[in-house]
Amino acid sequence: MNVRRATIKDVAEAAGVGVATVSRVLSGGSASPETRERVLAVATQLDYRPSALGRNLRQQRAGGIGLLLPDITDSFYGRLADGVLSCARAAGEPVVLGTTGDDPEREADQIGMLLEQGVERVVAVPTGDAEVWAPTLRAGLTTVFAHRSAPGHGGVPTVLADDRGGVRTAVDYLTGLGHRHIAYLGGPGQEQRVSAFLEALGALADPDLVVSARGSRDSAYAAAAGLFQRRPDLTAVLAGGNLLGEVAVLAARELDLRVPKDLSLVMFDDVPWAELCAPPLTVIAQPAEDIGYRAAELVLRAGGRRPRGVLLPTELIVRGSCGPRRAP
C-alpha cells in the first residue's frame, strides 16, 4: 500500500548520473542538453517529485506563506484569503492558515507555530501591537500586514483599503442628507477609521457616538442595541464591517426603528446579501480580494525593494438604507 516515493538518489542511479546533476537539472542549473533530457525522462518515468522536506531542511526554511486572519468565517476575510491563495497558487507556494480571533495571545501562538514550521513569509491582519510583532520581525520573518496596520510598526509593508477616504465619503453622504447625529459602530483594530470619522464630522463629532465591539456577534449586537437605546437622537450609523452591519439592522428591527426612515445605515464592506436585505444596504465596498493578492505579492517579492505600502480605493455604493434626516 504505502509506496515509498522515488528520491533524488533513485533518479540519479537510474539515469547514471550523480545526485547533484539531478538537482541542477531540476532547478534549472547548467547541464548538457543530453544529460538534461535523460534526467528529465527518468524523473518523469519514476514520477519523481522532489521532497520539500529535504529541501526545506537544507535551506533552513520552509517556503510557503503563513496567513493569519481574525476569523475565516467572516466573508471579508474569506475573500482576502482567496486573494492570497490565488497569488500563492500562481507562485506554487503552499499557504498555512491560522486564525487569531482578534486575540493577541492567540496570534502570538500562531506565529510561534509558523516559526516552528520554518515558514518565513507571513501575511497577517494584525491584532497585537509592536509588542507581539517585534520578536517576530527580529526572528527574520518577512511580514506584510493586510487590511490593518499594527500600532507602532511603520516598518512593515502594509496593504490597506483607503479607510479614511471611505469614512469621509460616507460621512459626507450622510451629512449631505441632513444627518447631524451620526454614530460609528466599530470593531477591533479600527482606530484609523475612528479618527477619520471624528475628523470628517468636524464640529458634529461626538465621542459618545463612537462604539467599539469585540469580535463576537453577541458583543456586536449588544453594542448596537445599547447605542440605539442610549441615543434616541441618533439618525444615522456607519457600521465598520459586515458583521456590525448585520447586527445593526437586527437591533434596529428589534427596537422598531425603521431603516431608513428612522435610521440611516451605511455599512463597510459590500457583501452579496447587502442587495437582498430589506432595505438593500448602502455600503462602502472594499477590494478584499485585491488586498489579499497584493499582500501575497509583496511578501513573495521579499528580495527586491518593496514599497512601504499600498492603498486601495474604496467605493460608496448607494442602495436603499439611507434617507433624509427624519423630522425631529
- Cis ω on the peptide bond leading into residue 151 (within 30° of 0)? no
Query: Which residues between 58 and 77 bind DNA (CB under 7 A)?
Result: 58-60
DSSP string, 119-188: --EEEE---S-HHHHHHHHHTT-EEEEESS--TT-TTS-EEEE-HHHHHHHHHHHHHHTT---EEEEE-T
Which of 206/262 has CB closer to a copy of itself?
262
Binding of a copy of itself at residue 276 (CB under 8 A)? yes
Site string for DNA, 23-52 (x = CB under 7 A): xx-xx--xxx-xxx-------------xx-
Q: Can you tell me which of 7, 175, 192, 219 binds DNA, judged by CB under 7 A?
A: 7
- What is the C-alpha to C-alpha distance for residues 85 and 113, in angstroms, rounded to an integer? 20
Q: Is 20 helix (H, G, I), strand (E, B) or coil?
A: helix
Contact 25, 35 (CB under 8 A): yes
2 counts as binding DNA under rule CB under 7 A:
no
Which of the listed partners (a copy of itself, DNA, none) does 7 bind, with a CB threshold of 5 to 8 Å by partner kind?
DNA
Q: Which amino acid, one-letter code, is at 169?
A: T
49 makes contact with a copy of itself (CB under 8 A): yes
Is residue 117 a contact point for DNA (CB under 7 A)? no
Residue number, 19 or 205, with CB nearest to DNA:
19
The strand pair at 182-186 and 158-161 is best described as unpaired
Nearer to a copy of itself among residue 171 and residue 249 (C-beta): 249
Cell for 282?
Answer: 448602502
Q: Cβ atoms within 10 A of the Cβ of 155, count?
A: 12
Check residue 81 for interaction with a copy of itself (CB under 8 A). yes
Which is closer to DNA, CB of 117 or CB of 219? 117
Enumerate binding residues for a copy of itself (CB under 8 A).
Answer: 1-3, 5, 49-54, 56-57, 60-62, 64, 67, 71-75, 78-79, 81-82, 85, 89, 92, 94-99, 112-118, 138-140, 217, 246, 249-250, 271-273, 275-278
